[in-house]
Every structure is written in C-alpha cells, then in structure tokens.
Amino acid sequence: MNPMVTVNIDGQDIQVEPGTNVLEAAERLGVMVPRYCYHPGLSVAGSCRMCAVEIEGMPKLQISCHTRVRDGMKVSTGSEQVLRMRQAMLEFLLVNHPLDCPVCDQSGECDLQNFYMEHGLHESRVFEDKIKRKKAFPIGPHVMLDQERCILCTRCVRFCEEISESHELGVLDRGDRSVIDLFPGRELDNNYSGNVIDICPVGALTEREFRFQCRVWYLSQEASICNGCSRGCNIAVHFNTERSYKADGRRVQRLKPRFNPLVNQWWMCDQGRFGYGFVDRDRIENPCLRIGGELQPRAWEEVLEEVATALKTTVEKFGAEGLGVIASPQQSNEELYLVRKLFRELLGVAEIPFRNPWEGTGTEDGILLLGDRNPNSRGAVDLGLQGDAERILEDAAAGGVKVLFVFGHDFDSDPARELIRQAGYVVFQGANWNSTARLAHAVLPGVTHMEKEGTFTNFEGRVQHFAQALLPLGESRPDLEILCDLAQRLGHALFYAEPEDLYSEWRGRSYQDLGEFGEVRDSNGAGAS
Amino acid sequence: MERLRLISRDFGNSRARKLDYYRAHGGYQAALKALDEMAPRRITEEVIKSNLRGLGGAGFPVGRKWSFVPSNTGKPIYLVVNADEGEPGTFKDRYIMEWDPHRLLEGMIICARAVGIHTAYIYIRGEYVHPERILREAIEEAYREGILGSRVLGRDFSLDVHMHVGAGAYICGEETGLLESLEGKKGWPRLKPPFPAVVGAFGCPTVINNVESLTYLPHIVANGGEWFANLGSERNGGLRLFSLSGDVKRPGVYELPMGTPLRELIYGCGGGMADGKQLKAVIPGGSSAAVLTADEIDVPLDFDHLARIGSMLGSAGIVVMAEDVCMVEAMRVISHFYAHESCGQCTPCREGTGWVARTVDAIHSGRARRRSVEDLMQIADNMSGTSICALCDGAAMPLRSFLVKFRGEFDYHLKHGRCDLKRPVPAVARSGVFQAPTGSGGIPGAGQE
C-alpha cells in the first residue's frame, strides 16, 4: 500500500491516501469547501470555480476538486483571497439567475441560496437585463427543467453520460446563452432520471411528483432501505406528518438515496424512488372478518380471538399439517424470525415458504435494479424458510390445509385466486389491500416497512437496518405486536418489546454492530465487511 | 537593405504553391536532412536552441513542448496543427497556407521525425475555405509524389496527414478545445493537467503546434538552431509574421525579427498612419492583448518585452487605431466578441463576458450607473486567472487596459452617451498597472524607413 501523505488544511494536519483531492481531504477535517460542479460520484468538471483554495507556493488559487494532495502541502480554504473568489463566483452566478426563490421548489435546500448566504456579496450591482430562457417544462416523466435557474454545473449531463449511460442531456449553445437541454428527439426517461434532481445544486431540475406539494422545511426524514428489489439501496424517507393539509394528506413526500459506498453509492432507481405510493394508498386500516360473505371491520380483540381459535382448533384436530403458512420476502428479518419461531418452533409447521410462485423475475437493468423485486428474500433463505407455496395453496383448496395464513402476498393469478377461493379459512396479514386480502376470512392490518424498524438482508447477504419513519396508519400494527399477541392467545409466552430484541436473539448482536453501511457475515458467522 | 524574409518570401507568388516550384527552390531538403542526417533527439535539440516560441500566441518554447511527450506509452503520438486562426486582428497563418503550403507540410515532417509521429491532423478554421482548398491540393500533391504517406520522401518513415475543418468557434483555437472538437465533441477546453503532450488527441500523447511555428522548422533544420536564435532577440528566436491592420497606410503581413520595435512596424512596414491622422492606440497581439498608447510604441516586439509592459505579443495581430477611433466603441466590439465566443463552461467567463458586454453597451449609450466603470474594473479583476483556459483572461486584459488608459473617454460616454473626439488625445498610461516605457519620443513622421 502507498504511504499516506500529510497535508495541512487551515492549520490542521490530516493524513490521506495519495491521489485524494484537496476538497475531499478538507471534508474529512470537517471543512466544507463550497462547490457546484464537483460531485464525488462523477468525473471532475472543474468549471464552477467555486472550490478554489489557496495553496502555499502556488501563484494562483487552485480549484480543490482538481488538485491532488501532496505531502507537506499547506492549504488555506478561508483566506481573504479565497473568500473574495467565492464572492466573485457567486456574483457571476447571479448575473443571469432569475432570483425566483419565493416560488422555487428548491428553496431551503438550494446550494445557491446556502453558499450565497454564507459567502455572497449582499449588494447587487447587476443592473443589466438578464437573459431569458425556457422555464418550467417537463423533460421526462419525473423531471422538470428550468433553464433560467440553471448554473451550468453539468452534474446532470455527466450523470447521464457516466452513470445511467443514457446520454439524454447536453449543453447547447455557447457562452451565457448556454443551456442544459435534451438532445433533439430525446426524453429524460431512464430508470435513474430522478438522480439528476438530487444532484442538481439549484432549482433547475425539480421533481414533477414533489413540485409544490410541500416546502422542504416542513419535511422530516428518517433513514430507511428501499424495498423495491433485493439490492437494498439506502434511502431517506422524507415525510410530512404535521401539516396534513398538504399533498392531500400523503405522509411520504419523496424518497432520496442515502450514500452507501458498498450498495448504491449516491444513487437509486426511479422504480424505487417513485414506488412509495403503497405507504399511503390502499392501506388496510382496520382488522376485518368475513361476515355474511363480506369483509367487515371489527375490533382487534375480536379478530385476533377468532384467528387464534381457528389456529388452536386446527392444530388440536389435525396437527400442524392442518396449518399452511406463507411468509413474505417483504417482511423484515425480525418478523421472519418471529414467524419461524411461532409457526415452526411452537406450532410445529414443518415448511414455511416465502416466495410467490406466480411472481416472475423482473428484468435487471445492469445498474442497481435487480430481478428479485423483494428486499429480503436472502434473509428468508438465511433463516431457513423454504417450501412450496403452490402446493400449500393446493392443499388448502383440497382441504388438507384447514387454515391458510398468508403474509402480505398478492397471489394475483387466476389459478391462485381459484385455489384461495376454495380454501377453508384464509388469514391475511399485511399492509395493503390486494386480491388475496380480499378473498381472506380474517384480515390483520400490518404496517409498511416505513412504519417499523428492522433489518433486510440484501442479495449479497448484507444485513441493513431501517428505522421507523412513520406511525402505523389507522389501527394497523407491526407484525411483532400481532404475532406476539396471537402467540399469547395460543398459550405461548412470546414477549418482544422491540425488533432489536428479536435481532439479538437471532444473531447474538446488536443493531449498532451493523455499522453505517450494513454488514455481510459469512456462514461461520464471522464478519466479512 | 532588403529585409530578411524566411517564410514570407513567396507570399503573393501563386506559382510557389506548387510542389515543382517549391522543390526547385530547395523545398523538402530540410526534411531529407532531418530524415537522413539527424537523430530525432538532435532535431529537438536544435529547435530548443533556436528559441522558437509557439507563435499561435502563447509563446511557449516549441522544442520544450516536444520534449514533454512520453515515448514509452505504447500509444501512437499525434501531431495536431492548429490552423484555427481566430484571434481578431490575426491573419498570418492564412497567408502561409495560401501561399506556401508545402513549407508547412515540410515543417510537419520535421516535427513528426523529431517526436516519432506518424499521423497528423490539421485543424483549420471553417471560414478558411480558400486556404483549405489550397492546402488540400498541396497534400494531394505531396501524397502523389511520395512526400507523404507510407514512405515519406522515399525513406523508411511514414506520415499521414488528415484535414479537419472547424465550425467557426474561437474557442476551438485553444489547444484543448481544439482537441475536443477534433474528437467530435463540444469544443470545451480541458482541465489541465494532464497536458496534451501526455494525454492529447484520442487519449494519446500529442504535439499541438501553430501553423507558423511549424513553418519555421525547415529553416531551423537547414541552418541550425543557433543561427535562428541569433536572428531574434533574447529568448525569442528568429523572425515572425506580424498581421498589421487598422489605420496604417500599408496594412498586411510583415515578417520581422523578434524584438523589432513596434514603431518600426507601424511607420516602416506600415508606411505610417493613414490619412495623416495621429496615432492613438495599438493592440499589439490580437484583441486579447492589453492595448498600448501612442507613448508605448517603442517597445520591442517580442514575448518578454510586451509582457514586461503588461501586455502580450500573442498572435502578433497588430491593430493600429488613429485619433478618431472611439475607444468605448472599440471596447464594445471587443467585449461582444468575447461574450459571443466564450464557451460557457466556466462561471466567470460565461457570465462575466456577457455582463461586461452589456455594461459597456450601457456606458456607450449613456445608460450606465455612475459606478459602472469602477464595477467593470472589478469584474475584470474577478475574471482574471479564474477559469480553465485563457479566453477569460483574454477578455479581461483588454478591458482593464482600455479602462485605465482611456478612462476619460469612458467617463465622457457614460455622462453624455456619445464621444468627445474633438479633445486632444491624452491617453496617459497610469502608473502601477501599466508601466509606460521610458524615453518615448514624438509620434509624427518618426521611424520612416
């Protein structure tokens, strides 16, 4: 390994790997050098000129994004000359900027606002007319472009060149007539288009779904994991729960990728990004029982009691063979562990499948999105869950399985629906209404993964923690509560206060041990990374 | 005594374009010498000794530029000829390509031999339709006669030459903007390092030289580097072409030794001021150079002397302005040129050039605020040295010099929205930023040849 080099930045020494740029080295010391064009996930453009710093022995200021550290280098990020340069660049950036912050969706999370407030010149001397450009027009299904707000940092262009490799965007024209625009005949319609919104430092690229729904300062956020496929992209859930009059009461306003160098870097796919609708839509808000052929809301007590009785009598009369349980790869490790504990270890059900045999494999896009569109299939495998869901449904239809307990699945195919219709007694536990839930005899409203804490194990075996962002909707309850309650009604003393209690029991470790980026453990239980 | 002319000897002689004529007058003998008698390293050494500077405008020593090219990368090395002559006031490369195209090709062979190059690109500006046609004919002739191609001049050395026609952007004359354009991309200058010598065209080591720089090579190889160096001034070897335009009696391209006083060019070659007018100002090195006042024309024309007085020799495009030229109007033209030609990549250049142009407009028409001239000075400062390439400096340098040296005209325009050209031409250089040369004499009639 190369020896580390020592640089001195604003009087503090730091050791970094050779090849590190000065901007990143400063960041490690907690020194934020303002920048627009630089993004750690993209090639260096070096064109915004915002990150210039003073380096001892160099006649001119150097842009810190394109200057590599040298041993003994002395850097000043706050000298008078540096501050003057920043002020000058900010002034230039505003020469043709419309300053329409009051109606700009980016307000509050805009680097032009932020850096201007910190480093800007506060008296304008721009008295000439500004250049007019196209404002607020859609360039794809998710993205709006405002060319007047654009500062030509070209992050979006480089993203489409280097990450999505879809080449929709370019810089057209020259000088101060330059604009970011679509190439003729193109549309920004790739599965990663939402990322350009994230990396746009200003209000030039905004999200069509999010526009004017909620001011960003009303948003709270919580760290989560995308449940859209088995990659396990790290995300932040941005939600608004205090101003329910906004966005028709939707709580989740948007998802943003969260940096994880080992999983998704800075990115996420559009399918995951815009796939959060299930959190506030088609939710099962009350426990239900089928009465007179109709599902009707009933109190938890009543529904749980009926389900417990059905389970108890079935096991008593027919043994565990009378129970069919199908877990879900959308459940957390903790929940799957609890399912296994209750149904296999305590009730004796031999086989608990988790895959939906009618669910095909999706197409992989070669970037992040994987074919398995479930977040925790690997976790279910690691927990030893296996079996044939189709055979269980057939047994249920044929009468061998008396009580069928389905977690979350939507067996949305004609043969599957027919089998479920013929089943004697179907319990559905899940967060959203679907074709299987509608055919059930008892429906137990669970919560989405944004309303609970837990872990998913991604395709490569990386266990990642997600935090609870929202409170359960309506009367819904986390599986942990429902299953413990059921177990107690069945006479088993299952008490778990928190998901972490289950996690510790299963893995002998705490959530803290997962670290910032999750943990891959080999079959011997030793940490791999 | 007749002036020494090396590469302009045949300007105006249409027969000289032809290979027969060129060969009959010693053409391609230097290339043969380079191929047969000189090791590549020796050629480079001679060129270093010659003090030949990059005559596109940057003035970087040509031989040293070659010496940065790594030879052990396993990649081909390319020669790119910068024929994108775009600096306002400059038209010398056009003369070379129109009247003496084979000398350029011979220079290219010498460079190729010195650096180990087998493929060359000539990037010529799109407006040069006529020079392009002549150059293409010369290349065809050279191929036909075995001067280019797989066996250059019958020797075991190959050189292929391709022409690439630009599309009219000034920025594509900046060497890395040119490379991007040559590769089929938008002509945005590249971040350096790496420099083209290491990563140039198509990711390979590349020599980029100006047409004129290459055209002097046959003379350097034929007569030696020292001989060439002695023709010029200190560290500025040989002769170079000056494009003289503006209010002189005889505008045109003149070949003079480096270090010749500007006065001699204007009053000797140029025949003095047109229509008996008085000299007011001179742009000495293309529009990107700081303007000189009439008091400053005793400066020797070489890279170092002009740098010393805060200007530059640049492309040696010399624009002479008489007493009746409105300096605000002149600055307006220049500032609009840079606003039009800024590539738009870097913040200060993209926004600054347009802002300057609009502010100069406002001063010109008397709409500007009182502080506008001071503001322009600060904008020029903020643009200087802050972007990837030199275009931004090229816009700031004339601006600052016009404002400092002709402040009175700007103030008058700002107040009245028109010129006051009846007033005598004071044009006093302010000390500090621009140092006027000492001992400047009177103007009229002086220095006639």
Residues B266-297: pLDDT tens digits?
999 999 999 999 999 999 999 999 999 999 99
Global confidence as pTM: 0.93
> Can you give the pLDDT at residue B422?
61
Which sign does the torsion angle of CA A189, A183, B352, B364 carry? negative
Across A390-394, average pLDDT: 97
The two tokens of residue A117 are: 């407030």
* pLDDT > 70: percent of chain A: 98
Whether A50 has its CB under 8 Å from any CB of chain B: the answer is: yes
**Residue B442 pLDDT exceeds 60:** no
- How far is B119 from B135, CA to CA, in rounded Å? 17
Tell the residue number behind the tokens 């495998």, with chain if given: A381
Instruction: Indicate the pLDDT class of residue A2, thresholds 50, 70 and 90.
Output: low
Answer for the pair B294, B425: CB distance below 8 angstroms, yes or no. Answer: yes
What is the three-state SS of A295-328?
A: EEECCHHHHHHHHHHHHHHHHHHHCHHHEEEECC
SS3 A358: coil
Closest by CA position to A499, among listed A328, A337, A340? A337
Closest by CA position to B167, among listed A174, A183, A45, A152? A174
> Can you give the pLDDT at residue B273?
97
> Can you give the pLDDT at residue A122?
75
Q: Do A92 and B355 touch (CB under 8 A)?
A: yes
Closest by CA position to B113, among listed B224, B203, B216, B36? B36
> Can you give the pLDDT at residue A3?
85
Enumerate the residues of chain A whose CB falls inside 8 A of the CB of residue B345: 45, 47, 152
**Residue A36 pLDDT exceeds 70:** yes
Whether A44 has its CB under 8 Å from any CB of chain B: the answer is: yes
- How far is A357 from A374, CA to CA, in rounded Å? 13
Across B210-228, average pLDDT: 98
Among the partner residues A49, A60, A177, nearest to B348 by beta-carbon distance: A49
Enumerate the residues of chain B whose CB falls inside 8 A of the CB of residue A129: 358
Nearest chain A CA: its distance from B370 CA (Å): 11
Across B95-114, average pLDDT: 98
Instruction: Indicate the pLDDT class of residue B58, thresholds 50, 70 and 90.
Output: very high
Chain A residue closest in CA terms to B391: A175
- Residues 6 or more apart whose CB falls under 8 angstroms from that of A464 comprise A225, A232, A234, A263, A455, A456, A457, A458, A514, A517, A518
- How far is A147 from A145, CA to CA, in rounded Å? 6
Chain A residue closest in CA terms to B352: A92
CA dihedral B119, B121, B122, B125 (to 10 degrees): 180
> Can you give the pLDDT at residue B440?
32
Whether B384 has its CB under 8 Å from any CB of chain A: the answer is: no
**Residue B118 pLDDT exceeds 60:** yes
Among the partner residues A47, A88, A175, nearest to B388 by beta-carbon distance: A47
Mean residue pLDDT across chain A: 95
Instruction: Indicate the pLDDT class of residue A244, thresholds 50, 70 and 90.
Output: confident
The two tokens of residue B327 are: 């300096």
Q: Which of B341, B347, B355, B391 is the mutation pick for testing A, counting most A CBs within 10 A?
A: B347
* pLDDT (tens digit per residue) in B330-365: 999 999 999 999 999 999 999 999 999 999 999 999
Nearest chain A CA: its distance from B362 CA (Å): 8
Whether A174 has its CB under 8 Å from any CB of chain B: the answer is: yes
Closest by CA position to A134, among listed A112, A119, A150, A155? A150
**Residue A529 pLDDT exceeds 70:** no
Q: Do A176 and B350 touch (CB under 8 A)?
A: yes
Tell the residue number behind the tokens 């395709």, with chain if given: A459
Q: What is the C-alpha R_g of chain B?
A: 22
Q: Do B345 and A47 touch (CB under 8 A)?
A: yes
Across B85-103, average pLDDT: 97
Question: What is the distance of C-alpha B348 from the center of its chain?
Answer: 24
Q: Do A95 and B385 touch (CB under 8 A)?
A: no
- Other C-beta atoms closer than 10 Å to the C-beta of B377 total 17
ipTM of the complex: 0.91
Across A498-525, average pLDDT: 89
SS3 A166: coil
- How far is B371 from B327, CA to CA, in rounded Å? 19
- How far is B342 from A178, CA to CA, in rounded Å? 10
Tell the residue number behind the tokens 């335009």, with chain if given: B245
Nearest chain B CA: its distance from A372 CA (Å): 39
Whether A58 has its CB under 8 Å from any CB of chain B: the answer is: no
> Can you give the pLDDT at residue A120?
87
* pLDDT (tens digit per residue) in A402-449: 999 999 999 999 999 999 999 999 999 999 999 999 999 999 999 999
Q: Tell me whether the omega of the peptide bond preceding residue B193 falls within 30 degrees of 0, making it cis.
A: yes
Q: Do A171 and B191 touch (CB under 8 A)?
A: no
* pLDDT (tens digit per residue) in B300-335: 999 999 999 999 999 999 999 999 999 999 999 999
- How far is A447 from B384, CA to CA, in rounded Å? 60
Which sign does the torsion angle of CA B427, B431, B434, B440 carry? positive
Q: Do A125 and B354 touch (CB under 8 A)?
A: no
Closest by CA position to A466, among listed A339, A325, A330? A330
Instruction: Indicate the pLDDT class of residue B418, thresholds 50, 70 and 90.
Output: very high
Answer for the pair A325, A405: CB distance below 8 angstroms, yes or no. Answer: yes
Nearest chain A CA: its distance from B193 CA (Å): 9
Across B57-72, average pLDDT: 96
Angle between helices B327-341 and B407-416 (to 10 degrees): 90
Nearest chain B CA: its distance from A178 CA (Å): 6
Mean residue pLDDT across chain B: 93
Q: Which of A23, A44, A49, A94 is the mutation pick for testing B, counting most B CBs within 10 A?
A: A49
Tell the residue number behind the tokens 């939710």, with chain if given: A283
- Residues 6 or more apart whose CB falls under 8 angstroms from that of A294 comprise none
Across A129-140, average pLDDT: 96
Whether B346 has its CB under 8 Å from any CB of chain A: the answer is: yes
> Can you give the pLDDT at residue B1?
54
Enumerate the residues of chain A whose CB falls inside 8 A of the CB of residue B340: 174-175
- Other C-beta atoms closer than 10 Å to the C-beta of A263 total 23
Lowest mean pLDDT among A55-59, A118-122, B196-200, B422-426: B422-426
> Can you give the pLDDT at residue B429?
35
* pLDDT > 90: percent of chain A: 94
Instruction: Indicate the pLDDT class of residue B420, thresholds 50, 70 and 90.
Output: confident
Q: Do A174 and B169 touch (CB under 8 A)?
A: yes
Question: What is the distance of C-alpha B195 from the center of its chain?
Answer: 20
DSSP-derived pairing of the beta strands A205-207 and A220-225: unpaired
- How far is A527 from A512, CA to CA, in rounded Å? 14
Answer for the pair A380, A389: CB distance below 8 angstroms, yes or no. Answer: no
Please provide residue A297's backbone torsions phi and psi, each rounded to the nearest 5 degrees: -60, 135
Nearest chain A CA: its distance from B31 CA (Å): 41
Whether B396 has its CB under 8 Å from any CB of chain A: the answer is: no
Instruction: Indicate the pLDDT class of residue B437, thresholds 50, 70 and 90.
Output: very low
Q: Do A92 and B345 touch (CB under 8 A)?
A: no
Q: Which of B346, B359, B373 is the mutation pick for testing A, counting most A CBs within 10 A?
A: B346
DSSP-derived pairing of the beta strands A442-445 and A288-291: antiparallel
Q: Do B382 and A96 touch (CB under 8 A)?
A: no
> Can you give the pLDDT at residue B362?
96
Among the partner residues A49, A151, A173, nearest to B387 by beta-carbon distance: A49
* pLDDT (tens digit per residue) in B148-187: 999 999 999 999 999 999 999 999 999 999 999 999 999 9
For A77-139, the DSSP string reads: SSSHHHHHHHHHHHHHHHHT----GGG-TTTTS-HHHHHHHHH--SS----SPPPP---SEES
- Residues 6 or more apart whose CB falls under 8 angstroms from that of A470 comprise A237, A239, A241, A251, A252, A279, A448, A450, A451
**Residue B432 pLDDT exceeds 70:** no
Q: Do B346 and A176 touch (CB under 8 A)?
A: no
- How far is A151 from A147, CA to CA, in rounded Å? 8
* pLDDT (tens digit per residue) in B234-274: 999 999 999 999 999 999 999 999 999 999 999 999 999 99
Chain B residue closest in CA terms to A150: B347
Answer for the pair B263, B284: CB distance below 8 angstroms, yes or no. Answer: no
> Can you give the pLDDT at residue B421?
73
**Residue B411 pLDDT exceeds 80:** yes
Tell the residue number behind the tokens 């499948």, with chain if given: A353
